[in-house]
Amino acid sequence: MSAGVLVVGDADAWLGSWALAAQVREEADIVVRGGIREFRVFGRGAAAPPLLDPATDACWHVQRGGVMPARVGWPPTRND
């Protein structure tokens, strides 16, 4: 993956392209805005991600290599 590339898909699309999902998980920072299904495509282990507040725009940020996700605002900023 090269810098500046944005790839978008829902859980079903990512599961259908599992090889690409595995590559993205290892090589890119991932922003997940959706539900737990979308998160599970990229999250590692059985641990639940931080809860998202439905009253605010929030998403999960998973750093390359599958590091534990963080809850960030949407749209994410360079400071998140």
Distance (Å, rounded) from C-alpha 30 to C-alpha 68? 11
Q: 9: which 2 tokens?
A: 């898909």
Residue boundaries of the structural domains of the chain: 11-73
pLDDT of residue 79: 60
Answer whether 60's CB lies under 8 Å from 37's CB: no
pLDDT of residue 40: 84
The label of the residue with tokens 């991932």 reads 30
Q: What is the mean pLDDT of each run of 10 residues along the chain (80 residues)?
A: 72 89 86 84 77 84 80 72
pLDDT of residue 78: 63
Buried-state track 41-78, b at ≥16 Cβ within 10 A, e below 16: bbbeeeeebeebeeeeebbbbbeeeeeebeebeeebee
pLDDT of residue 75: 73
pTM: 0.73
Q: Cβ neighbours of residue 29 under 8 Å, at least 6 residues apart? A: 61, 62, 63, 64
